[in-house]
Amino acid sequence: MAFPFDLLDLVLPEIATWMAGKSSSEKRRFRRAGLGLLLLGVLFAVCAFVFPKVATWAFNSLEWAYFMTFLFSGCGLGLLACIWYDQKKHIKSSDEGQT
C-alpha cells in the first residue's frame, strides 16, 4: 500500500489532509480523497455542460474545462482503483497464509 499512496502524499498532501477528517486510517483518508476528486470532476463536467460561458470564463476555453474534469475524475478513479487493488491483494495474501 505504500507506493501509490506515499506518492500522492508528496504531490497532493492537502487533498488527503482536507478529506481525512478525524480518521487516522490511510485507506479511509484516500477513499475520501478519491471520492472527493471524482465528485469534483463530475461537478466540473456538469457545470461546463450546463453553463459553457462560465466554464469558458473560468478556464479560458471549453476544452480546458473538460480537460480539468478529466484530470480530476481520473485522479479520483485512480485512487479508488488503488484502494480496490490493495484490498484484493490483502485478501489474497491472507487467504494464502491460512492454507
Q: Is the pLDDT of residue 3 over 60?
A: no
Residue 40 is assigned to a structural domain of this protein: yes
Q: What is the pLDDT of residues 35-70, one digit of tens each?
A: 888 998 999 999 999 999 999 998 899 999 999 999
Residue 4 is assigned to a structural domain of this protein: no
Overall domain count for the chain: 1
Q: Which residues contact 18 (CB under 8 A, 6 or more apart)?
A: 36
Whole-angstrom CA distances from 11 to 5, 6, 48, 60, 98 are: 10, 9, 26, 25, 37
Residue 15 is assigned to a structural domain of this protein: no
**Residue 75: domain span:** 26-90
Residue 74 is assigned to a structural domain of this protein: yes
Residue 36 is assigned to a structural domain of this protein: yes
